Amino acid sequence: MALREGAKVAQSFTDDGAFINKAIGEQPNTNVRRRKQLDEFYPSLKPGRALTRIHDHIMEINGDDARGTCTIEVRITRNNQSIIGSGYYADVYRRVDGRWRFAERHCYFHRFVRLRKGMGCEGLGRRQLIRCVERGCCSETVGYS
């Protein structure tokens, strides 16, 4: 949630909605179900830790139900290490009170790759590094001398 919009993202799900995230070939590492869990999960995501790019939406609509897929690229910073990932979303939508919502959002990742140089704190100037640490996107152990 790059801009602290976690609460808005949670509201884009139906009350019985689900978000399931996994690397292909592994058990789900995130399994969030129903309104209470969605409302706790999405706002808890720290801004700047993951920047998601979504492409190539394909949807099939059938009345008040729909299915769709789209590709995903993600840029993550963990422990001052830049990581990129690629995969896709497989979505189930439902129209509720005239608005389309996610009934299910399955996120499948093909792979993650660590970068030697990238989005981590390496190479940042003092002011940028301070802001980065304050936002929580880099390890709190990073100093800014």
Q: Which residue has the tokens 């129209």?
A: 95
126 phi/psi in degrees, rounded to 5:
-55, -50
pTM over 0.75: no
Question: Which fold would CATH assign to domain 6-115?
Answer: Nuclear Transport Factor 2; Chain: A, (3.10.450)
pLDDT tens sequence across 32-80? 999 999 999 988 887 766 778 899 999 999 999 999 999 999 888 777 7
pLDDT tens sequence across 2-38? 667 888 999 999 999 999 988 776 666 889 999 999 9
pLDDT for 132 beyond 50 = yes
**What's the per-residue H, E or C state across 4-22?**
CCHHHHHCCEEEEEEEEEE
**Cα 67 from Cα 9, distance rounded (Å):** 18
- Terminal CA-to-CA distance of the chain, rounded, Å? 29
**Cα 19 from Cα 94, distance rounded (Å):** 14
